[in-house]
Amino acid sequence: MCGIWALFGSDECLSVQCLSAMKIAHRGPDAFRFENVNGFTNCCFGFHRLAVVDQLYGMQPIRVRKFPYLWLCYNGEIYNFKQLQKQFGFDYQTLVDGEVILHLYNRGGIEQTASMLDGVFAFILLDTANRKVFLARDTYGVRPLFKVLTDDGFLGVCSEAKGLINLKHSTSLCSKVEPFLPGHYEVLDLKPSGKVASVELVKFHSCKDEPLHVACDTVEALPSGFDLETVKSNIRILFENAVRKRLMAHRRIGCLLSGGLDSSLVAAVLLKLMKEININYPLQTFAIGMENSPDLLAARKVAAHVGSEHHEVILNTEEGLQAIEDVIFSLETYDITTIRASIGMYLVSKYIRKKTDSVVIFSGEGSDELTQGYIYFHKAPSPEEAAEESERLLKELYLFDVLRADRTTAAHGLELRVPFLDHRFTSYYLSLPAELRIPKNGIEKYLLRLSFEDSNLLPKEILWRPKEAFSDGMASVKKSWFSILQDYIDQQVDDLLLEKAAEKYPFNPPKTKESYYYRQIFEKHYSGRSSWLPHYWMPRWVKATDPSARTLKHYKSATQE
C-alpha cells in the first residue's frame, strides 16, 4: 500500500503543485520521493512509500536499466510476479513485485499487462520512447485511483481525490476530478509540450470472466461439474489459495476479526497457512466494539479456537462521535452505511498503528457481495435476480465497502489484503448455477458455510452465525450504533435545515438528519463534488428507508432467538 501521484503538462510551478501530493502522505509513512521526468519539465511523479516488499530497491517511480524509457508508479501487490518471471523468462533487477509490469508491457503491450496481473493495483506507466501514458486499475478497485484531465490536456493522477482537488491550473478543475474505473486501462498520447490526449479507455476484465493469468496459477485445473461435493472442494481449494498468495510480505501480518463468518474464515485459514510455512510470530487479530457487543464476544470465541494473539478495542461512544469528521475526510464520501461502518474500522486501524507492529492486515471484505450475504437477499424474487444483484454489488464495491476498507486502513499507514476478492475465486463462485448461491433454510451464504462445515476451522456456532452489519455488530444488542449516531445527530441538525435539504443539495438530497449531517461535513472538505457518489447504498426488494440490517424484518439478533 502506497500513495501515488503524477502530473503531466502542468502550467504551474511543480514545487507549488507538489504540496498537493503531501495530502496523501498517510498512505506511505516510510519514505517520499518527488521526481521530474527527463525532457518534460512540466511532468513529474510523487510517491509515498509503505515498505512491505524489497526494503532496499522499492522506491518509485521504478526504472530499470533494461528499459530506461519506462517510468512506473504503482500502488498494490502483484501476487504472481514470480510465476510470470518463470513463464516468460523475465530478468528482474529488483525484488519489487511491481517490476513485472515493465517486463509484461515490453513483451506484449498494455492489454496483456493488465490482464496477466494477479493482484490488486493502480498504476501510472510512462513510455517516453513511444510518448504514451497508461493508467490501469484492478478488477474490483481494491486499490484506489483518481484522475483529472482538462480540455487543454493537463492530467493529474492520484491514489485519493484529496491530492488533486487543490491543483493549480489556468482552467478550472472544479468538477472534473473523478474515480478511475476498476477493471479498465486508459491509453493517452504524450505531446512534446507534456500535455496529453486520451486515446481509448478499455475494460480489460469483468468479474465473471476467468482471468487470463489462471494459465500460470499455482493451483492447476480444478475438477469440473456442479455436483455439491466437487463445488465445495473447489471453493475450499481456491479460497485457501487466495489467502496463501497474499502472505507475500516482509512486514508483520495481522487480521481484522469481527467474529462474523467472513473475517473468521480469513483468520482461521490465515493462521493454518502461517503455521505451514513456519512464520515464527503469532498472528495478531483485532476486534472493536462496545463492552459485551455481539462482535466482541464472537471474535473472542474465534480467537480462542484458532489460537491467535487477540486484541480488543473497546469503542467509546464519545470517541466514535468525535471521529466522524476525520472519517468523512479520509473516505471522500457521504454514503450513510459506509460512514457508519468506517468509524469502527478507522479506530481499530488507529489502535493497530499505535500499539502493535502489524502492518499487513487481512480482512473479509467482498464476501457479502460475492456470496449473497446481505439479509435482503432472502427477499430476492428469483435466483437469477439474486445473481444479477451480486454482480452489481461487486461492480460497485469501489464506491462502498472496498472504499471504506482502503481509506480507513490507509489513513493509518496499514496495507489491506482481501482474499475474498481474489480474481480466480470470485470468477469460479460466479460461474456456479444461480440456484446454488442463494440463501437456503433462512440462512444467507449457505453454500460458503456448507463448504467449510467439515473442516474444523471454526466453531459451528460461528460458522452458522447470522449476518450482522459491522456497524451493528460492534454496538450493544440493546442499542445499535446507528441509533446512537442518530440520537447524537438529532441534536446537531435543525428540522428546518432538513426541510430545505433538497434545495441546498439537489443531487442525492439527504432524507434524514443523519445523512444531512454527513453531507455538510463532506461539502466542507469536497464542495461541489457530490457526483463521486452516484447513489446511496440501500437494500433492494424491501421497503427500506435505512441501510442497517437491524431495521429489516428478517433480522433477529442471537440474543432474541
Which amino acids are annotated catalytic?
Answer: 2
Exposed e or buried b for every residue in 511-542, given b needs 16+ CB within 10 A?
ebbbbbbbbbbbeeebeebbebbeebbebbee
Rounded to whole angstroms, the Cα distance separating 99 from 73 reads: 10
Rounded to whole angstroms, the Cα distance separating 519 from 529 reads: 11
Exposed e or buried b for every residue in 385-398, given b needs 16+ CB within 10 A?
ebbebbeebbbbbb
Beta pairing partners, 36: 44
**Within 13 Å, how many C-alpha atoms sit on residue 454's CB side?**
4
Q: How many residues can be counted in the chain?
A: 561
Q: Give me 127's grid cell.
A: 513510455
Contact criterion met (CB below 8 Å) for 515 and 334: yes
Is 364 annotated for ligand binding?
Answer: yes
Is 363 annotated for ligand binding?
Answer: yes
In this structure, what are the phi and psi dihedrals at residue 345, rounded to the nearest 5 degrees? Answer: -70, -35
Contact criterion met (CB below 8 Å) for 281 and 252: yes
Is the peptide bond prior to 68 cis by the omega test (within 30 degrees of 0)? Answer: no
Round to the nearest angstrom and report the end-to-end CA distance of the chain. Answer: 42
Ordered alpha helix ranges (H), 356-480: 367-370, 383-395, 401-410, 423-431, 434-437, 446-451, 460-463, 470-473
Classified as helix, coil or strand, 473 is helix
Torsion of CA 517, 523, 529, 534, to 10 degrees: 0
Helix/strand number for the chain, H first, E second: 21, 17
Q: Give me 122's grid cell.
A: 493502480
Classify strands 40-49 and 67-78 as parallel, antiparallel or unpaired: unpaired
Is 326 annotated for ligand binding?
Answer: no
Sheet of strand 40-49, all strands in order from the earlier edge strand to the far edge: 31-37, 40-49, 3-8, 155-158, 146-149, 178-179
Nearest to 118 by CA among 245, 248, 270: 245
Nearest to 373 by CA among 417, 429, 334, 428: 429
Torsion of CA 517, 520, 521, 523, to 10 degrees: 150
Annotated binding site for ATP, which residues? Answer: 256, 288, 363-364
Annotated binding site for L-glutamine, which residues? Answer: 97
